[in-house]
Structure 1
């Protein structure tokens, strides 16, 4: 027995005054309405209605149940309407996981614009360069950079992520500009800790300090898990950095960094919006993913330095 349906049948019989009118209002047969009420009485172990051929009267137990059942049904209807609003209107708290440097440099304007368009959505932004488990950790959507492997998650490509090898003009003047990949072994390399996870092994085979047989770093001069630190170190003359243009682009445009070996530029990665389900997707997630699409331009604004 569906207790909500049975409760609704009972309340409607009382409010309409008869099983026939209740059946018309509920668009059910009178026999089914009567069956629902009888099942409710059996479950509760009390008679709720005294039935006559023309009218039904509340018993003492029915009179006690009626206002509480009516309130319960109102609460259920209200809950259903609120949950329905979550699917049709963007509202509620949106939990986002995003890479640290990308979020710091590029997400604040986007999130401000998004909230102006959807003021009923609150933002909870958590920054982390590791791959979070969006289901286990309770995120609605994660922004990820790299070459994604197949999984049960849904991923929408948002923008290309270009990687360039760069160094400061002062460093290149002092140590020379590499003309081919083989020249790189003589240089200092500023290594990003997660590059293997994001870029893939093929992008690293010609970089100094990497042993393809071992698959790890050897004799690395400078390792960090933050790309901004590495770009600043490169600007200061610390060595070569392979970094995405969303971090290095402004320094390249200002002449603080110089792209080297452009003809060997790695295959671009991508920025993805990753979420758990395609069906019954909350409106706040759907609206955010749609808002991301095309926001950064084509090509992205951080690549407009060539």
Structure 2
């Protein structure tokens, strides 16, 4: 029995959760899919799946085999697609990982334009602020804000994330309006953000000309997800250096007040990142180009970065994700 077809059947069973759904998606009889999986297990001398009357679960060996098989089949499909017809429309499954606020406010609202161009790409969108391992998790590309920690990856800079120092009117009525960053450090609570990658609390950075002030501050709450960060700020739990495109709607309707606008936090670069072995994939290239075009049309994500202290600010803020 064809080994590649057996691998494809196994991948679909894992993803679909049942033999019936997998068979339907492959347009094959259920019995054929069952025989393919049995043949694969016999050849490997491993049990890949635990079968019950209602659902199929993956064994430990099966999970490890799935990760490698999915990557192999994905690369095989990409190779055949590029070799047989380089002008053909990109197609197949594309796994993209995106930060939660960028997914909610930027990527998902614009996806209809992506599908108008590339109707044959099936997008699997992972949404989280946690760091993702592209190779072990079989992810094709990610969009993240912050400096890169893995220099082996291919990265394309598509924008920048700006920040605003904000608090609610109710909080300011209780604690007063700070006139200098030192007053925030001494007399106010911060809504903190800790890196999902390192678990370290990100410092608060204030830059005005050649003057630079940074501190952790007093934190009653720290979160590691951008939407939770703005929610905690709106709950009046403290002052926050919030992602500006998240804060702007609340600034316009006076739910938040901007503080010390003359003091800036240096923006963070936004990258679309992918493994070197995905460089020639038509579907990855299609998504990367679409994302770059999308971000270029959003002025609030194209803010220029201050030239002074950029490297210093980047090193401190590398854990911030959006």
TM-score under structure 1 length normalisation = 0.63
Partner of 2:158: 158
1:128 correspondence with 2:148: no
Is the alpha carbon distance of 1:90 and 1:80 closer, same or farther for their aligned partners in structure 2, counting shifts above 3 Å? closer
**How far apart, CA to CA, are the structure 2 residues paired with 1:143 and 1:233?**
24
Is the alpha carbon distance of 1:280 and 1:195 closer, same or farther for their aligned partners in structure 2, counting shifts above 3 Å? closer
Count of matched residue positions in the alignment of Structure 1 and Structure 2:
217
**How far apart, CA to CA, are the structure 2 residues paired with 1:149 and 1:121?**
29
Structure 1 unaligned residues grouped into runs of 5+: 1-77, 210-218
SS at 1:262 equivalent:
coil
SS at 1:252 equivalent:
helix
CA positional deviation for 1:149: 4.0
Partner of 2:142: 142
**How far apart, CA to CA, are the structure 1 residues paired with 2:175 and 2:80?**
68
Structure 2 unaligned residues grouped into runs of 5+: 1-76, 207-212, 304-322
Partner of 1:66: none
Partner of 1:242: 241
Partner of 1:258: 257
After the TM superposition, which of the residue ranges 230-239 and 116-125 deviates more from structure 2? 230-239
**How far apart, CA to CA, are the structure 1 residues paired with 2:78 and 2:109?**
34
**How far apart, CA to CA, are the structure 2 residues paired with 1:149 and 1:102?**
20
SS at 2:248 equivalent:
helix
**How far apart, CA to CA, are the structure 2 residues paired with 1:82 and 1:292?**
22
**How far apart, CA to CA, are the structure 2 residues paired with 1:249 and 1:221?**
24
1:206 correspondence with 2:208: no
**How far apart, CA to CA, are the structure 2 residues paired with 1:236 and 1:80?**
51
Q: CA RMSD in A?
A: 3.0
After the TM superposition, which of the residue ranges 103-112 and 129-138 deviates more from structure 2? 103-112
SS at 1:292 equivalent:
helix
Is the alpha carbon distance of 1:200 and 1:230 closer, same or farther for their aligned partners in structure 2, counting shifts above 3 Å? closer
Partner of 1:231: 230
1:126-148 per-residue CA deviation (whole Å, 9 max, x = no partner) reads 11212211111101101111122
1:208-242 per-residue CA deviation (whole Å, 9 max, x = no partner) reads 53xxxxxxxxx521111222223222223221111
CA positional deviation for 1:201: 5.4
1:18-54 per-residue CA deviation (whole Å, 9 max, x = no partner) reads xxxxxxxxxxxxxxxxxxxxxxxxxxxxxxxxxxxxx
- Contact residue 203 and residue 215 of structure 2 kept, 8 A: no
Partner of 2:22: none
- Contact residue 191 and residue 220 of structure 2 kept, 8 A: yes
TM-score under structure 2 length normalisation = 0.60
CA positional deviation for 1:277: 1.9
CA positional deviation for 1:207: 3.9
**How far apart, CA to CA, are the structure 1 residues paired with 2:118 and 2:216?**
47
- Contact residue 86 and residue 92 of structure 1 kept, 8 A: no
Partner of 1:56: none
Partner of 2:276: 277
- Contact residue 201 and residue 216 of structure 2 kept, 8 A: no
**How far apart, CA to CA, are the structure 1 residues paired with 2:279 and 2:137?**
20
**How far apart, CA to CA, are the structure 2 residues paired with 1:208 and 1:81?**
52
1:231-258 per-residue CA deviation (whole Å, 9 max, x = no partner) reads 2222232211112113222111222111
